[in-house]
Chains A and B, each alone.
Chain A
Amino acid sequence: NAGVTQTPKFQVLKTGQSMTLQCAQDMNHEYMSWYRQDPGMGLRLIHYSVGAGITDQGEVPNGYNVSRSTTEDFPLRLLSAAPSQTSVYFCASSYRTVDMNTEAFFGQGTRLTVV
């Protein structure tokens, strides 16, 4: 059972390049989210999904796109990378228990540098 898997672990982009950060979970969780973490700060929500085909914006969505075609995968696309997008990106998945709690499981992160 791999949990939440993110690829790549490290990436360097030039300003203006595009790329996709991959996230996959094998726990059949309905909810998936993307967060970014900047130095000395907590995680900020970029986009989230409550199920296949359904996505919505979080706190800091500008410059990022997402899609959720399957339950397992939730890729994050940077359309035109900017230095301000240098950060560590975390993908998370979560579920509803019988009493509606939503504990989230996180991937190991993707460290992105935009030069």
Chain B
Amino acid sequence: DIQLTQSPSFLSASVGDRVTITCRASQDISTYLAWFQQNPGRAPKLLIYAASTLQGGVPSRFSGTGSGTEFTLTVTSLQPGDFATYYCQQFNSFPLTFGGGTKVEI
């Protein structure tokens, strides 16, 4: 199984900050990587797929980079609704796996 390791697990930030989250894969997954945002009690929301493609309707302050085994999600100018937990997920092979999550809090 492909393991995805996110760092950091927790991130303290303020409105207007730029934050970066890293996701490392245990083997090469090309760009078969997506990023999700999840607010408490809500379903995950797709932000980015194919490592860097912004899902429709997602603000451009979200961006993703990377390929192979190292990926990043960057949020420029954090907004109040961005304080949430973020997950990476790989589509390279079954079983589909998720990272452990990064909670972005004030």
Co-assembled chains A and B: no
CB within 8 Å of B: which residues of A? none
Which residues from chain B sit less than 8 Å from chain A, CB to CB? none
